[in-house]
Amino acid sequence: MLQTVSKWVVNQLVVRGEIAEQRKAVYLYGCELILSTGLSVLCILLAGGVAGRFGQALSFVLFFMPVRTVSSGYHAPSYGKCFVLTTLLAFLCVSGGVLCRAYVPVWVMWCLFVTAQLVIWLRGPFRSHKHPLKEELVKRNRQYMHRMQMVEMAAGAALCLAGKQEIFDTAVMATITVACMIVIAEKEEWKYVGNVGSAD
């Protein structure tokens, strides 16, 4: 369905002369990405609202999506799988936040938060040999990523000071997930590079 809607939107843009026919594939990819991300966010927030966990759901979206977009990392092979994976991760992070609030001291959560932020800061954005990015884009993404991380650290402190510990714990789980996705992508990249090297 995403492909169908995206094709219709891009075809309308081509017909109206808004974009060139040669750029159609690029816009199609971008349209699918926007629709997929928007649908994921909507479903996560709706599910959070129905479950009485809207604050935690919003925390996941705000601490996961922006940094994840520029830090990259593991990607599901299709938009459908990406939607399912993101929704599942949101559920796990919200549930994990609830459990952490009950059993994990605040100082431990802060240690985990800072550690995950450091992993992202030092290892992001992830660069793939399969889909190389221009160095200029990597530098720009790194700058955005670092700025967003500083905002996240300040937001984490504000949540704790406001007594919103469960929302902060969900934010920590989301940040750990972003860091893990970078590490997973790096391991897959090492396997890919090793296979290519051995084939040569």
Measured distance between the N- and C-terminal CA atoms of the chain, rounded to whole angstroms: 40
Name the pTM for this structure: 0.85
Would you say 178 and 67 are in contact if contact means Cβ atoms under 8 Å apart? Answer: yes
pLDDT band at 2 (very low <50, low <70, confident <90, very high): low
pLDDT average, residue stretch 149-164:
96
Would you say 32 and 140 are in contact if contact means Cβ atoms under 8 Å apart? Answer: no
pLDDT band at 174 (very low <50, low <70, confident <90, very high): very high
Q: What interhelical angle do 165-199 and 54-71 show, nearest 10?
A: 30
Q: What is the amino acid identity at position 25?
A: A
Q: What is the pLDDT of residue 26?
A: 76
Q: What is the pLDDT of residue 122?
A: 95
Q: What is the pLDDT of residue 1?
A: 66
> pLDDT of 26-77, one tens digit each?
777 778 778 888 889 999 999 999 999 999 999 999 999 999 989 988 888 8
Q: What is the pLDDT of residue 200?
A: 47
Please tell me the distance from the alpha carbon of residue 75 to that of residue 185, in angstroms, as a whole number.
8
Pick 188 or 171 by higher pLDDT: 171
Give the CA radius of gyration of the chain.
19
pLDDT average, residue stretch 130-148:
86
pLDDT average, residue stretch 139-161:
96
Lowest mean pLDDT among 85-89, 93-97, 137-141: 137-141
Q: Judge whether residue 196 has pLDDT over 50.
A: no
Would you say 70 and 145 are in contact if contact means Cβ atoms under 8 Å apart? Answer: yes
**% of the chain residues with pLDDT over 70:** 92
